[in-house]
Amino acid sequence: MPFTIAIDGPAAAGKGTISKAVAAHFGFAHLDTGLLYRAVGAKTLDGTDPIAAALALMADDLETDNLRTPEVAQAASKVAVISEVRAALVDFQRAFARRAGGAVLDGRDIGTVICPDAEAKLFVTASAEVRAERRYLELAGKGMSVSREEVLADVKERDTRDRERAEAPMVAAKDAVVIDTSSLGIDEAVAEAIAAIEARRG
Ligand code: DC
Percent of the chain with pLDDT over 70: 100
Atom of ligand 1 nearest to the CA of 158: 10
pLDDT tens per residue across span 128-148: 999 999 999 999 999 989 999
Residue 14: its pLDDT value, please? 95
- CATH number, residue 113: 3.40.50.300
CA distance 89 to 37: 9
Paired strand residues for 180: 125
Residue nearest to atom 20 of ligand 1 (CA): 34
Instruction: Determine contact, residues 80/162, Cβ cutoff 8 Å.
Output: yes
SS3 content of the chain, % helix, strand, coil (to 5): 55, 10, 30
| pLDDT single digits (tens) 39-49 | 999 999 999 99
Q: Which atom of ligand 1 is nearest to the CA of 162?
A: 11
Instruction: Count CA atoms within 13 Å of residue 131 on its CB side.
Output: 23
- pLDDT at residue 64 greater than cutoff 90: no
What pLDDT does residue 201 have? 83
Q: For residue 193, what pLDDT is reported?
A: 98
Q: Which atom of ligand 1 is nearest to the CA of 37?
A: 8
Burial label, 28 (beta-carbon count in 10 A; 0-12, 13-18, 19+): buried
Distance of CA 96 to the CA centre of its chain: 15
Question: Which residues does ligand 1 sit against, CB inside 6 Å?
Answer: 11, 33-34, 37-38, 73, 76-77, 80, 107-110, 158, 162
Residue 82 near residue 165, CB atoms below 8 Å: no
Span from the CA of 106 to the centroid of ligand 1 (angstroms): 9
CA of 158 to the centre of ligand 1 (A): 9
Nearest CA to ligand 1 atom 18: 107
Number of domains in the chain: 1
At 1, is the pLDDT very low, low, confident or very high (cuts 50, 70, 90)? confident
pLDDT at 109: 98
Quote the percentage of the chain above a pLDDT of 90. 93
Distance 35 CA to ligand 1 centre (A): 7
Q: Whose CA is nearest to atom 6 of ligand 1?
A: 34
Report which ligand 1 atom has the smallest distance to the Cα of 110: 18
pLDDT at residue 65, rounded to an integer: 84
Q: Three-state secondary structure along 116-172?
A: CCCCEEEEEECCHHHHHHHHHHHHHHCCCCCCHHHHHHHHHHHHHHHHHCCCCCCCC
CB 168 within 8 A of CB 149: no
Range of the structural domain that residue 150 is part of? 4-201
User: In residues, how long is the chain?
Assistant: 202
Look at ligand 1, atom 2, and give the residue with the nearest C-alpha. Answer: 34
Question: Largest alpha-carbon pair distance within the chain?
Answer: 49
Residue 39: predicted pLDDT: 98
Residue of 5, 10, 12 lying closest to 139 (CA atoms): 12
Question: For ligand 1, atom 15, which residue shows the shortest CA distance?
Answer: 80
- Give nearest CA residue, ligand 1 atom 16: 108
pLDDT at 189 (0 to 100): 97
